[in-house]
Amino acid sequence: MSLFLGLDSSTQGVTAIVLDVDGDRTRVAYESSFDFDEAFPGYGTVHGVLPKSDPTVAVSSPLLWADALDAILGAIARSGLDLTRLEAISGSAQQHGSVYLNASAASMFARMDPRRAPAAQLAGCLSRPVAPIWMDSSTAIECAEIADAVGGSAVLAEHTGSRAFERFTGPQVRKFFKQDPAGYAATDRIHLVSSFLASLLAGRHVAIDPGDASGMNLMDLASATWWRRALDATAPSLASKLPDIAPSWTIAGTLSSYWQQRHGLPAARVVLWSGDNPCSLIGTGLVREGLAAISLGTSDTIFGLMREPRVDATATGHVFGAPTGDYMGLTCFTNGSLARERIRDMFGLTWPQFSEALAATPPGNDGRVLVPWFDPEITPPVLVPGPCRYDLALDDGPGHVRAVVEAQMLSMALHSQWMAVNFDVIHATGGAAANREILQVMADVFGADVYQFAVSNSACLGAALRARHAHALASERGIAWTDVVRDVAEPIAASRLQPDRSRHTMYRDFMQVYARFEADAIRRRPAVTTLNA
Ligand code: ADP
Ligand code: XUL
């Protein structure tokens, strides 16, 4: 009987999940979390972000993350679990965020005083007091500069998996180098949130895994090594400041004596951390090509495993490394639940009435179409919001209900085609996955079986499962990923919705028609974002 710990340092808080593996049975033995704002009000964060006057700037505090790690490890130590059985620890962190450390960090990691909390001891190790995070959009100029220097957006995407995005680490590093050259020069090591926290656990600088490194615009995706041309385009001497890149299942060391003495924890293995999206791939059980997860949350996201690193030619999607050593494609849509809610509220419906309207209208909606960009859209990139209606009367409630759901599903199918994966099974998560009428449209559009997937924190669960996988690889004959995810990262078997073949055939044609409506809706607005190069 062995325990495996997964930690997740997200935008707003930290979570821990402990898995208990007994023979071939796995169960969640413990779960807890802290909210940054509530547990550490002294840092002054709001939803995990430090207040800034510039709305494009989003930064947080690495010291807060360190203190939160301390708090959650303390809680685990007091949980009553038999921690002598704790074999390995891994983690997940919000992607893209970066931590800037001076040369004193390496020795400090190794000699921290167990009587004192980590933050106070680490404060002198920061060459930049704050860490830019994924919500930051202040680097448009640097994105354009980097893309130009490497030969354009398409070249950058082809090599790194994504065109330059404001929140990605490379453009953030470049902005820091330009704004504070002395601070940049004093920086000895630039970590991601994931590798910073893993280093803190191991008591020494550890590597970044390809899953999180692919969110930097700096890694050559195919070889999982730093791409020299991108490094040179970003900032001088960058290669010497970056950690190595190593496989996600690398054992980075054992829990340092600091944590062992501070909380009485055992010398468990510390496995490299990864980003929250790569960890969620595992936590939603997507361990083979053909499985996708669609999250119907505030925004809608589709992601799935890819055996080959195919890149999105339209440059709206991302390819990240997957913790299995494969790749993952991910495309995000802003107009998700909020757009569905807007239609629901516009016609004064409850969710059950929304579902009834969906069931009462014909697939294809008799040609009534809505392009539901109530807010600026990420995919396709649309800055100026405003929905467009085609043959859809303003007072046609049921028509709007079907039109918004069909548009969202068709758009997701259309803009995930670049992954060139035939998804045969979809795990539906997020609040709107409770709605089976919506999921039936999903099944029909994708021609895939759709399962409801009950998941509270797939990133944290994925981290715990990764710890188990790496430990098995290091100590036994290894373990198949299908065995890793069994019991805890599987969909609800009885929830299966099957596609109707004739409706799927209809939707395949309709998708091309919908693509033309999207193009028309883009043409109609005064200004639309274009790729930055
Ligand atoms: P977040 O991305 O913030 O974590 P959730 O995954 O919790 O969001 O999803 C919340 C959303 O789920 C709500 O905004 C609501 O629109 C939607 N939702 C909840 N129940 C239903 C339902 N029965 N049908 C459609 N949408 C629903
Ligand atoms: C992905 C992204 C977010 C963060 C959230 O590109 O920016 O999903 O990882 O933590």
Task: Give residue 491's identity as a one-letter amino acid code.
Answer: P
Cα distances (Å, whole numbers) of residue 373 to 160, 327, 343, 349, 441: 29, 30, 12, 20, 19
CA of 209 to the centre of ligand 2 (A): 16
More confident residue, 524 or 142: 142
Answer whether 351 contacts ligand 1 (Cβ < 6 A): yes
Tally of CB atoms within 10 A around 437: 19
Which ligand approaches the C-alpha of residue 60 most closely?
A: 2
Query: What value does the mean pLDDT take over residues 131-153?
Result: 96
Return d(Cα 95, Cα 303) in angstroms, integer: 15
Atom of ligand 2 nearest to the CA of 95: 9
Query: What value does the mean pLDDT take over residues 61-82?
Result: 98
pLDDT confidence band for 527 (50 / 70 / 90): low
Atom of ligand 2 nearest to the CA of 318: 6
Pocket of ligand 2 (CB under 6 A): 10-11, 94-96, 134, 167, 215, 275-277
State which of 98, 133, 134 you would mutate to test the pocket of ligand 2, scoring each by most atoms of that ligand within 8 A of its C-beta.
134
Atom of ligand 2 nearest to the CA of 167: 7
Return d(Cα 257, Cα 250) in angstroms, integer: 20
What does DSSP say about strands 86-93 and 131-132: parallel, antiparallel, or unpaired? unpaired
pLDDT at 531 exceeding the cut of 50:
no
Task: Give residue 149's identity as a one-letter amino acid code.
Answer: A
More confident residue, 290 or 312: 290
What does DSSP say about strands 2-9 and 86-93: parallel, antiparallel, or unpaired? parallel
Name the residue at shortest CA distance from atom 7 of ligand 2. 134
Return d(Cα 305, Cα 291) in angstroms, integer: 7
Answer whether 336 contacts ligand 1 (Cβ < 6 A): no
Scanning 140-206, the segments in alpha helix (DSSP H) are: 140-150, 153-160, 169-179, 181-185, 193-202
pLDDT confidence band for 530 (50 / 70 / 90): very low
Q: Kindly state the percentage of the chain with pLDDT values over 90.
A: 93
Nearest alpha carbon to residue 60 among 182, 237, 180, 196? 196
Answer whether 435 contacts ligand 1 (Cβ < 6 A): yes
Which ligand approaches the C-alpha of residue 441 most closely?
A: 1
CA of 295 to the centre of ligand 1 (A): 10
Return d(Cα 513, Cα 63) in angstroms, integer: 51
CA of 371 to the centre of ligand 1 (A): 20
Answer whether 353 contacts ligand 1 (Cβ < 6 A): no
Return d(Cα 298, Cα 301) in angstroms, integer: 10
Query: What value does the mean pLDDT take over residues 268-274?
Result: 98
pLDDT one-digit tens code per residue, 36-58: 999 999 999 999 999 999 999 99
Name the residue at shortest CA distance from atom 4 of ligand 1. 297
pLDDT at 471 exceeding the cut of 50:
yes
pLDDT at 456 exceeding the cut of 90:
no
Which ligand approaches the C-alpha of residue 96 most closely?
A: 2
Residue 454 is predicted with a pLDDT of 81
Answer whether 337 contacts ligand 1 (Cβ < 6 A): yes
Atom of ligand 2 nearest to the CA of 11: 10
Residue 453 near residue 428 (C-beta atoms within 8 A): yes
pLDDT at 528 exceeding the cut of 70:
no
Residue 532 is predicted with a pLDDT of 35
pLDDT at 529 exceeding the cut of 90:
no
| CA-based radius of gyration for the chain | 23
**pTM of this prediction?**
0.94
CA of 169 to the centre of ligand 2 (A): 12
Residue 198 is predicted with a pLDDT of 98
Answer whether 434 contacts ligand 1 (Cβ < 6 A): yes
Cα distances (Å, whole numbers) of residue 352 to 280, 344, 385: 30, 10, 28
Name the residue at shortest CA distance from atom 1 of ligand 2. 95
pLDDT one-digit tens code per residue, 188-245: 999 999 999 999 999 999 999 999 999 999 999 999 999 999 999 999 999 999 999 9
State which of 298, 334, 456 you would mutate to test the pocket of ligand 1, scoring each by most atoms of that ligand within 8 A of its C-beta.
298
Residue 506 is predicted with a pLDDT of 98
pLDDT confidence band for 249 (50 / 70 / 90): very high
Please report, in angstroms and rounded to a whole number, the separation of the first and last CA atoms in the chain.
Answer: 54
